[in-house]
A and B are shown apart, each in its own frame.
Chain A
């Protein structure tokens, strides 16, 4: 392995001024967290770029982690050499030969951030290019469509040579945009909503409504597993499990069938708002998408949304189901989401649901419930846990594996 560094380029460079240093510091923190299991890797930050010194750590595993961190536009494996022509030539040759693998054409793109370096970029292109041509047989230069572009960046203290660029996840570093709570059901949509929210730099806390014994233990485990997948993108995440059985029983008893879904969603939203306030989150994120199911018509959203004036962020609102599935597959939540366990939305599913519920009616029906007391009771029995990236062995199984 000739590559000894990784060069990281930031996404959304438009963010400048004061925000920029906060943005960069947060990104550095997030990268540090993600690379905790690689103790020898060192992160350095310079203006406009970040560098990871690999110091012998596995570059593939690190690349895999980096590809999931928001705020990175792209990154490259790099060879770091001294600012000296022969060293640069040798470094470029090593960098190229390692990834050549049957490729036939290349070009050199030199850039001098360090104007004190005595050789101009054009001349450097020539010097490095001809050195490579002399040393690798069967290779030709193609300046328009090269198979490999050998980038040579002469910076203040050192020169970095890179040959392949990996796409990052884009977006903003998680933690630069405040906090939201995510209503996480265990279906396909809500984990994707959480992912997209994090992409815009917010931190999330997840809320799940659980109705034992009607909903299986596996349904809760599934949500824990989904949260774990999300932690790969956003670092550790708090998960709040709300005991919801009693509320559902009460709704079932007192509310007409075609309004049970509406009232249930309104109560979930109220509880989420309470948790958000307590956890200092500024918005609620859901996986709702317009027109997908009865509770997600515009009428229905209008009626459900009445109970809170907190912003409700719906990243999927205009997406088609197939688009959502694509993202779910990409981020690794799909296979978990489709595990067929009953959850609190399916178990008490009424025979019919109004697609055009009205606020007045919902309010009238709700008078039959002691909503405040029910909510207090649910909150008092909240189960909160912290989910961290990477699999840990379940306490009960300690010693077995």
Chain B
């Protein structure tokens, strides 16, 4: 099996699954319970939180556990809008966001908020000048994806942070789900107030995530009913999940540090091979993230390619997993100005540390033979 759909989800590390099982079995107490079992669970959760805070170089109080990227984005965006609407009702985002971000803004528009959607260039990047012009007196939030999940485009988070630093009334939220452990950023250096990450994108379990909430930022909580997670998210904590997330984060960051160039090497090899295939047009920008390569096969239905590849146990995807079952062309590629033909026929290959050059070669060989077969049939 060659798994090249790591932007959709990653395979949990064996060690992470072990942790999940052990914690579920041995530390099943409710951390809110007063007895010893509860206390053990509470201490374990505390240590997981501490480990994550240290890895992210933030304070323990700034780590809020969530059920994943979608919840993190919703809590950050709706939480800010609802809490601070007295100060202003203008919000800014981009039109290349993940659906969990995009649709949250859509809902807020229905509630009377005004939303500016920033455009992107062909590389999928926003323009700082356009952002600057969009800022208004009643702007309360700028929210932006760091690494685009379809194209791998990287937004200039540092520059945006530098700009927004001069507007203390505006909160800055970053959807870092695809960037975590692949394209690191410093939350403090980039002046980020809120940052979403998701466990299953770095070999942790599904249903786990973290929202970084800078100390001093107040949010309207979306789930009430208990004091868990600093009153921001009521509900009994998913201890095995959060402990496993902490472990997956540590392992993935260690692997990133030990082998920074590996993903770049895989990407370079794939790009070199792809440009030699006549039917292929590359969509990912040159300076994109090292783990995402997006290309189109104009005139060929990508679903057919995906099915043919899966018969050979090679797994890639079309667009974002969350919207790949919709038959429309990719919204992200459309707004990036790549045209309908490319947006309809896009294929995304996404790596992780475990992938090898041999796997890339095997994928390209198989792709070439599939494409030539399809061309014959379709002629």
Contact = CB atoms under 8 A, between A and B. Distances in A.
B34 A221 contact: no
A401 B246 CA distance: 6
A397 B50 contact: no
Nearest to B22: A400
Contacts of B188: 60
B47 A391 contact: yes
Contact of B19 (A60, A393, A400): A400
Interface in B25-71: 34, 36, 39-40, 42-44, 47-48, 50-51, 54, 57, 61
SS of B interface (majority): helix
Contacts of B61: 335
Given A400-B23, A401-B246, A218 B47 contact: no
B43 A221 contact: yes
B36 A401 contact: no
Nearest to A225: B46
B243 A401 contact: yes
A217 B36 contact: yes
B247 interface: yes
A397 B36 contact: no
A400 B243 CA distance: 7
Contact of B44 (A60, A61, A217, A400): A400
Nearest to B247: A401
Contact of B51 (A60, A61, A218, A401): A401
A399 B34 CA distance: 26
A218 B29 CA distance: 14
Interface in B140-189: 188
A400 B188 CA distance: 28
Contacts of B34: 216, 218
Contacts, number: 40
Nearest to B42: A218
Given A400-B243, A401-B51, A394 B250 contact: no
A367 interface: no
Interface residues of B, number: 22
Contacts of A217: 36, 39
Contacts of B51: 391, 401
A401 B43 contact: no
B47 A401 contact: yes
A396 interface: yes
Interface in A374-401: 391, 393-394, 396-397, 399-401
A9 B243 CA distance: 42
Contacts of B44: 394, 397, 400
A400 B26 CA distance: 11
A218 B40 CA distance: 9
A216 B48 CA distance: 22
A400 B36 contact: no
Nearest to A218: B39
Interface string A266-306: 00000000000000000000000000000000000000000
Contacts of A218: 34, 39, 42
Nearest to A61: B57
A3 to B, nearest CB: 15
Nearest to A332: B59
B51 to A, nearest CB: 5
Interface of B: 19, 22-23, 34, 36, 39-40, 42-44, 47-48, 50-51, 54, 57, 61, 188, 243, 246-247, 250
Given A61-B57, A397-B43, 12 more contacts: A60-B188, A216-B34, A216-B39, A218-B34, A335-B61, A397-B44, A399-B19, A400-B19, A400-B23, A400-B44, A401-B47, A401-B246
10 tightest A-B CB contacts, nearest first:
A400-B19, A391-B50, A217-B39, A401-B51, A218-B39, A401-B246, A401-B247, A397-B44, A400-B243, A217-B36
11 contacts: A217-B36, A218-B39, A391-B51, A394-B47, A397-B44, A397-B47, A399-B22, A400-B19, A400-B22, A401-B247, A401-B250
